[in-house]
Amino acid sequence: MQKYLKYFLGALAFTVSFQAPAAQAQCPICTAAVIGGVGLARWLKIDDTISGLWIGGLIVAMILWTINWSNRRKIMFWARDIIIVIAYYILVILPLYYYKLIGHPFNQFWGVDKILLGTIIGSIFFYAAYLQYENIKRKHGKAQFPFQKVIMPVGTLLILSLIFWFLTRS
């Protein structure tokens, strides 16, 4: 049952990413790449820390989409952005904890659960790469090369994946 739920959620997220409007805080191609990275990592039995990196990137992409969608529709209320951030992390972390994918005492790295650690680091670096792209675009008025908006955050996750692959090899 859990296996089918993963496939359903992955297919749903993949479908939604291609139905999104063109003007997004993060592009659908970037989100599809993140979803593909999570699915591929789990299928290839790659370490959970690396899967967590991609989960964190996906969460940040979805948060940025939701905030941008809310801005375009002029949906404003007190602490909206904070509520959106907390809601997405709860919607992802709680099911992982409930299905015992997070919290196993033998699935830790640096004293922290591997998926949780990867999610935190992936979120921070994905968002930092997004902010860096926005700064470059603001400074120069446009992207400096084709697909820069995709390459910067996804490339950051790829580099981190490689680093954690070396760190977690036994």
Alpha-carbon gap, residue 163 to 63, rounded angstroms: 25
The total number of structural domains in the chain stands at: 1
In a domain, 16, yes or no: no
CB neighbourhood size of 132 (10 A): 13
Tens digit of each residue's pLDDT, the chain (170 residues):
555 545 554 554 554 444 444 444 445 555 566 556 666 776 788 888 888 998 899 899 989 989 999 999 988 889 999 999 999 999 888 888 887 778 888 878 888 888 899 999 999 999 999 999 989 989 988 888 888 888 899 999 999 999 998 998 86
Residue 34, in any domain of the structure: yes
Q: Does 4 map to a domain? A: no
Q: Is residue 99 part of a domain?
A: yes
- Residue-level pLDDT at 73: 92
Using alpha carbons only, what angle is made at residue 35 by residues 65 and 121, rounded to the nearest 5 degrees?
80
Domain coverage including residue 81: 28-168
Task: Let me know if residue 50 belongs to a domain.
Answer: yes
Looking at the domain assignment, is residue 137 inside a domain? Answer: yes
- Whether 136 is in a domain gets the answer yes
CA distances (Å), origin 77, targets 1, 24, 136:
38, 21, 30
* Residue 41 located in a structural domain: yes
pLDDT value of residue 109: 85
Q: What is the pLDDT of residue 34?
A: 56
What pLDDT shows up at residue 19?
Answer: 45
3-state SS class at 146: coil
With contact defined as beta carbons under 8 Å apart, do 17 and 84 qualify?
Answer: no
Residues with Cβ < 8 Å from 130, sequence gap 6 or more? 25, 26, 60, 64, 152, 153
